[in-house]
Chain A
């Protein structure tokens, strides 16, 4: 009996040794310099792109081993939030700009990069300044941007030409275009999948930006001072309500990707609000003769926000100040965020690099070049709604936006909930 007990205790004590999993590692596993790299792109083509890039880097730098781990968006957000303030913070990790970046920085574990930018002006001078601005807080740069994006209305050029429609610049013109399309037999002139709350939020973020004056918006998006009492917020949601009537009942039961692939790409719906980053995905599913163009979100006649702003934001990488090999991390990121690798990101990965010169080569879609011009011509880049304000506020906004679309809530009732959510943050 005693023996049995002892054996059992020994087993219990040893259990963690056997249970301890081995982490994935490839390339120069025994190298002196180890970097742990964590990002949010486990899907192809980006995952294999990263695998190839890392393999190339490790071949060029045999003394460095990069261990990579990745999980998808929402799970990534959870995971990185959990570990960023601990000692397990990854050496290099991907981050959105705006409030998400601020949250990361608040952990105190993110390295300030001003010296690195200043030490190598040739490299840092190539980064789009609007993108660097997304990672700059009170003059301190905390991230290295690597992609930039914007959200605009994509439209089917052929259908517009057939019906003699002009690209709208104001809300009234936009509604007139949607009505004309409906009259011409396009039952759902505006394609969208509202199951994805972020798709709702992208709309609401832009509508708010166009409608509310910049100062009020900044005050309300700040968790410490947000009130959302400006009556124009209700007007903004009324515009959203109006827009959803052109999306059809089906919108509430499909996701954004389905809407893009089965409605916009097939010509069933002539307009859709899309990100520039979706260009490669769109190119893969559209017929050869499909021609599309884009226009920025139209201006509201009563709107007080800047109508020339573009909703979109850069994404990039941060380095932990707890990293053992900070220099190696910097080297790796400089190598990654360069015209050559930016070109790979833009052609293979599909995102638009924010490195100057990356979008010059062959294999870049014409529309991507047009998109780049649009980003450069925008008065400023307005952050995604879910990077601009506190999650407690935007979740309520997202749920409310969905409920308005299905006719289960009114703009007034949603705003009341938003106000309550904002007040609970003070």
Chain B
């Protein structure tokens, strides 16, 4: 009886959370699934059921394919730059050599994360500006005139320039997460390895890497799902242009919904984004595990 009462109490405490989740996550999700089979505009009072038409359009829409490619590029660069290099940087900062200046570097790398994304994007607009931008001026100053580009106005460089902004901003955050994970590794493991004669690189691969597996999983999920839901950077910096060169799925969804005023089809694009992020998260979830076994 007592246990049952306790359980009931626990359930009651969960209730607000569940309620909020239901109202703000599950209900909109279900609504969105329904919307994706309909056709309607923001100001229309009725919705027309169109069956699978929106989904058919999804697979023949050239902008979807372009956006998807950009998102994949975003994800690949983010994983390499943030997760792999973030881990390496964290290991370096946690090394004895850097112990003294560690907090200084941590702060330096972490500061961009604290800035508002909008501010960062506006800042980079000045960096990339073709008339008086810092980047081109810098390249000219060091005699690399041939490398100056119209960074955001050129199809070949626009997407990579936008991706670079995200890396600059998020790199420190992921590094910080890895630093926390590395700090949790018991020091006797390293001491034993040193006694066994393992060098720094060997210790990194045989102790640090396996011990931060959980954090690796967390950061992978964060960066990959972040890459597939990225919106602000291309929206502020290029608006998806020139043409559709920097279009990403969420921006295409936004434009379809709020500019073209086709909410039904926009919901279908939202479903695509949901399926992609859900599948990727599950794949990572099952391949890396949740880390439970390590605790037991």
A399: CB under 8 A from chain B? Answer: yes
Interface-facing stretch out of B79-87, B94-102, B146-154, B190-198: B146-154
CB distance from B152 to the nearest CB of A (A): 5
Nearest-CB distance from B165 to chain A (Å)? Answer: 15
CB contacts (< 8 Å) of B150 on chain A: these are 249-250, 252-253
Contacting residue for B131 out of A107, A262, A391, CB 8 A: A262
| A75 to B, closest residue via Cβ | B258
User: In chain B, what residue has the closest Cβ to A109?
Assistant: B43
Interface pick from A77-85, A175-183, A357-365: A77-85
Cβ 8 A contact of B62, one of A84, A103, A108, A417 = A417
Contacts of B255 in A (CB 8 A): 395
Expressed in whole angstroms, the Cα–Cα distance for A5 and B62 within the complex equals 54
Residues of A within 8 A of B258 (CB): 77-78
- B239 interfacial by beta-carbon distance below 8 Å: yes
**Total count of chain B residues near the partner, CB < 8 A:** 35
The answer to whether A249 and B153 have CB atoms under 8 Å apart is yes
Chain B residues positioned under 8 Å from A1 (CB to CB): 9
> Any chain B CB within 8 A of the CB of A352?
no
Task: Report yes or no: A392 in contact with B242, Cβ–Cβ below 8 A.
Answer: no
Pairwise interchain contact B153-A392, C-beta atoms closer than 8 A:
no
The closest CB in chain A to the CB of B262 belongs to A392
Closest approach, in angstroms, between the C-beta of A164 and any C-beta of chain B?
30
Nearest CB on B from A244, distance (A): 11
Contact B261 A81 (CB under 8 A): yes
Is there an interface contact between A103 and B43, defined as CB atoms closer than 8 Å?
Answer: yes
Interface residue? A424 (CB, 8 A): yes
The number of inter-chain residue pairs (CB within 8 angstroms) is: 103
**Cβ contact within 8 Å between B259 and A391:** yes
**CB–CB B131/A400 < 8 A:** no
For chain A, residues 105 to 153, give those with C-beta under 8 angstroms from any C-beta of chain B.
106-108
Q: What residue in chain B is nearest A251 (Cβ atoms)?
A: B153
Q: Judging by beta carbons under 8 Å apart, are B242 and A403 in contact?
A: yes
* Chain B binding surface SS class: loop
Closest to A200 in B: B241
A408 and B153 form a contact (CB under 8 A): no
A195 / chain B contacts, CB cutoff of 8 Å: 152-153, 238-239, 241
Chain A residues near B155 (CB-CB < 8 A)? 403, 406, 408
Range, interface on chain A: 35 or more
Say yes or no: is A17 at the interface (Cβ < 8 Å to chain B): no
B67 CB → nearest A CB, Å: 12
B260, chain A: closest CB distance, angstroms: 4
Within B52-102, the residues touching A (CB, 8 Å) are 57, 62-63
**Nearest opposing residue in chain B for A82, CB measure:** B42
Is A408 a contact of B243 with CB atoms below 8 Å?
yes
Q: Given A81-B41, A249-B150 in contact, is the A254-B242 Cβ separation under 8 Å? A: no
* B16 with A12: CB separation less than 8 A: yes
- Residues of chain A within 8 A of B214, CB atoms compared: none
Chain B residues with CB below 8 A from A399, complex form: 63, 240-241, 243-244
**CB < 8 Å neighbour of A395 from B41, B42, B62, B259:** B259
CA gap between A59 and B153 in the complex, in Å: 51
Which residue of chain A has its CB nearest to the CB of B240? A399
Q: Which residues of A contact B243 (CB under 8 A)?
A: 399-400, 402-403, 406, 408-409
A319 beta carbon closer than 8 Å to chain B: no
Q: B261 touching A406 by the CB < 8 A rule?
A: no
Per-residue 0/1 for B15-51: is the Cβ within 8 Å of any A Cβ (1 yes, 0 no)?
0100000000000000000000000011111000000
Within 8 Å of chain B (Cβ to Cβ): is A61? no
From B12, B44, B153, A252 is in contact (CB under 8 Å) with: B153
B58 to chain A, nearest CB (A): 12
Chain A residues, CB < 8 A from B12:
5
**Residue A104 is within 8 A (CB to CB) of chain B in the complex:** yes
The one of B57, B128, B129, B244 that contacts A424, using a Cβ cutoff of 8 Å: B57
Residue in B130, B131, B153, B260 with the greatest tally of chain A CB atoms within 10 Å: B153
CB-based contact B43/A104 at 8 Å: yes
Is B245 close to A, CB under 8 A?
yes
Query: Hey, which chain B residues are within 8 Å of A409, CB to CB?
Result: 243
Which residues of B, 222-270, contact A by the 8 Å Cβ criterion?
A: 238-245, 255, 258-262
Min Cβ gap A307→B in Å is 30
Interchain CA distance A405-B241 in the complex, whole Å: 11
CB distance from B2 to the nearest CB of A (A): 12
A81-B243 Cα distance, complex, nearest whole Å: 26
Closest to A409 in B: B243
Contact A253 B44 (CB under 8 A): no
Query: Hey, which chain B residues are within 8 Å of A274, CB to CB?
Result: none
Query: Which chain A residues lie closer than 8 Å to B63 at the CB level?
Result: 399
Give the docked Cα–Cα distance between A252 and B238 (Å).
10
Residues of B within 8 A of A391 (CB): 259-261
Query: Shortest beta-carbon distance, A194 to chain B, in Å?
Result: 7
Neighbouring A residues of B241 by C-beta, 8 Å: 194-195, 197, 252, 399, 402
Query: What CA separation (Å) do A106 and B46 show in the bound complex?
Result: 12
Q: Is the CB of A107 within 8 A of B153?
A: no
- CB of A51 within 8 Å of the partner chain: no
Residue in A81, A194, A250, A395 whose CB lies within 8 Å of B242: A194
**What 5 A-B pairs come out closest when comparing CB atoms?**
A403-B243, A253-B153, A252-B153, A81-B42, A391-B260
Q: A253-B130, A253-B154 are in contact. List 5 more A-B contacts (CB 8 A).
A: A85-B43, A249-B154, A252-B242, A409-B243, A417-B62
